[in-house]
Structure 1
């Protein structure tokens, strides 16, 4: 079974460089890779979850992918939990509902002969919304029902394990409380991979019997403090997973001709950062 994970596409109805790169990705996946399944790990839209035009246009573009598609939301799709959400964009019931109206459920289970894939909404974790409690109940029930011995791959937007030991201005992982609870639930299943996005860089780390994978963005690179995020790959691309006889492997892949854009190449993001810096 071949699974492709794409992430942080940051698409907008105004088009521009992130769409140009995404169309190259679609062509590459459809004509050369031909995966059995594609998972988008969030930040589908360029910036704001309340922009319905961006959401509609992004759906039309993502639908160009011929393989079956599963989606989990990112902070730019539904908002972020906590008091210090990026640009003050907090997760709300209304924003999650708007996302689901276009993309389907924000958490899901997908069964294949080779593996079980689970997707969850990381932006609900520690939000104290009723939707968070509902997702926890679903997780408990779903994990308890999984068949014994079948590999499990979990996808979410923010990394499950701590990204850095130091403080960060905005939430970069799910945090210790949600992490401990989730790992406790996953302890009884054959967890083999955890794929996330959000950081716009690639890294693979062994976590007991599972591989932790940070998927690169397809949209643009972001500045990084290398001493705090070691052993990462700063390049746009995607991740290709292979599930074979109970084993799961993952590899970074590039897209031929995809330009290596930066924040400065995407006006909506550059302007938002400039406005935040000026405050």
Structure 2
């Protein structure tokens, strides 16, 4: 079985380089890779979760992928938890509902003959919203119902394990409280991989019996000053293979895809300018 994970596409109604790169990705997956399923691990749209035009255009572009597609939201799709949320974009019920109306449930279970895929909305974890409590209840029930011995792959936007000991000005992983609770629930299943996005870098780390996989972005590279140990800074995607109960994960390039920085995506600056103007008008 072949599973492809894509992440951080940052698509916008304004088009531009992130759309051009995504079109190359979709064509490559359809014509060359032909995965059994594709998982998008969040930050589908460019920056602001309330931009309905960005959301609609992102949906149109995701539909270019022929394989079944599953999506978990990122912070730019629904906001993030915490008082220090980036640009003040805090996760809300309305933002999650708007995302679900276009991309489907923010958490899900997908069964195949070879494995079970579980998607979790990391942006709810630590939010205190009723939706977080509902997701925890769903997880508790779902994980105990999984078939014994079948490999489980978990997907979410933010890394499950701590990214850095250095202080940061907003949440970069799910945090220790949610991490411990989720890992405790996962002890009873055959967890073989945890795939996330958010960091715009690829890294594969062995965590007991499971692979922790940071998926690269398809949109643009992360800022150089934010480099992290053992991380591969290149645009691309992750290809998982599930065979005989074992799971492997490999970084893959899209032939011809340019390795863009944020400076080469003018739509990023335009979106930030629009957000700044909107905040000033409130």
- TM range, smaller chain: over 0.9
Q: TM-score, normalised by structure 1?
A: 0.96
Describe how 1:159-238 pairs up with structure 2 within 5 A: 159-225=159-225, 229-238=228-237
| Contact 1:47–1:268 (8 Å) recurs in 2 | no
User: Aligned equivalents of 2:160 and 2:269: distance in 1?
Assistant: 27
Q: Deviations over 1:195-238 (max 9, x none)?
A: 00000000000000000000000000011446x61111000000
> Which residue of 2 is the match for residue 239 of structure 1?
238
Check conservation: 2:14, 2:267, Cα contact below 8 A: no
2:15 aligns with 15
Task: Name the residue aligned to 2:260.
Answer: 261
- Deviations, residues 152-195 of structure 1 (Å, cap 9, x unaligned): 00000000000001111111100000000000000110000000
Show the 5 A alignment for 1:1-279.
Answer: 1-225=1-225, 229-270=228-269
How many equivalent pairs are there?
276
Q: Under a length normalisation based on structure 2, what TM-score does the superposition of the two structures give?
A: 0.95
Q: Distance in 2 between matches of 1:146 and 1:33?
A: 29
Give the whole-Å Cα distance in 2 for the aligned partners of 1:173 and 1:51.
Answer: 24
Contact (CA 8 Å) 1:73, 1:157: kept in 2 or not? yes
SS of corresponding position for 1:204: strand
Query: 1:273: how far off?
Result: 6.2
Q: Check conservation: 2:96, 2:106, Cα contact below 8 A.
A: yes
Does the 8 Å CA contact 1:221/1:263 hold for their aligned counterparts?
A: yes
**Alignment gaps of 5+ in structure 2:** none
- Cα pair 2:6 2:237 within 8 Å, conserved: yes
5+ residue gaps in structure 1? Answer: none
Q: How far is the alpha carbon of 1:267 from its aligned partner?
A: 2.3
Q: Deviations over 1:95-141 (max 9, x none)?
A: 00000000111000000010000001000000000000000000000
Q: What is the distance in 2 between the residues matched to 1:96 and 1:22?
A: 24
CA distance in 2, matches of 1:124, 1:268: 27
Alpha-carbon separation, structure 1, partners of 2:204 and 2:271: 30
Query: SS of the counterpart of 2:90?
Result: coil
1:46 positional shift? 0.4
Q: Give the 3-state SS of the residue equivalent to 1:171 in structure 2.
A: coil
